[in-house]
Amino acid sequence: MDPGQSRIPVKVHRRVCILRSDDPIIIEEVLSRKKLQNDIAGRLTPSSVLIRPGRTEPIIAELLKLGHTPKIVQRPQS
């Protein structure tokens, strides 16, 4: 880092579960599923939905039922 540059204030959120899609219809579809209401915390940004910790499995299962094939990105091993 250039010593002349100031440090950027940032808040770090670790080990967050997020669903991301560029298709707003998919985001709406997920948010409107009553079955997933206890698993999804809410919409974080227009293209992302926050999943409650440890609740990804039911969401993946429901997405598969809906005919989607979500790409799962795991935390890489250090």
Partner 1 sequence: MIPNSQEIAADWSLRVEAALGRYDGELLDGVATRLLKPRGTLPREEVLDRTIEFFSNPVQVDRRISALDPAAQILLEVAAKSQKTVWFVGNLVEIVLGLGWKDGIGAVVGLLESGLAYPVFQLPTTPSPANEFQEMTTAAPLSQPVQFGNFLHWLSSPGPMGHNLFFVPGVLERMEGKPPLLPDLSKNPHARAPGRDEEDGQQADESEPFEEVIYGAPPFPGVEADGCEWFIRISLLWQKIQKNPLKMTQAGEFFKKDQERLEDSQLVAPIPESNVVVPDLGYWLAESARATGVLQAVDIELQATDFPVSWGKGWTGALRELLHGSFGASGWNPQDGWKPQVPGEPVSNPFPSALAIAFSLLGSIESGSWISPRVIEAWILRNHPWWAGQGVRPSRRKPFLETWLAGIVWPMGLVEMAKDPDGKLLFRLSASGKMLMSGASLSGETRAIPKMLLIQPNLEIMAFRQGLDPARIAKLSMFAVWKAFGPACMLQLTPDSVYRALELGESFESVRAFLDGHSTRPVPQAIIDQIGSWASKRERVVIHTSAMVLEFSSATDLEAALGRGLMAVRLGDRHALVDNEDAVDFRMFRLSGSRDYRVSPEPCIRQGPDGLDLTVDETKSDLLLETELPLLADPVLQKIGGAANRHRITPASMARVRERGWNLEMLEQWFRTRTGESPKSSVKLFFLAKARKSLVIEPRIILQSDEEETTEGLWQWQEFKAVTLERVGPCAISIHPEKVEQAKSMLESVGLKWGGMISQKDP
Chain positions contacting partner 1, by CB under 8 A: 1, 5, 7-23, 26, 34, 37, 41-48, 50-54, 56, 59-60, 63, 67-76, 78
Q: Which residues contact 67 (CB under 8 A, 6 or more apart)?
A: none
Q: Please give the structure tokens belonging to residue 70.
A: 């979500």
Shortest Cβ distance from residue 37 to partner 1 (Å)?
6
Q: Please give the structure tokens belonging to residue 55.
A: 């609740």
H/E element, 55:
none
Shortest Cβ distance from residue 24 to partner 1 (Å)?
12
CA angle 49, 39, 57 (to 5 degrees): 95
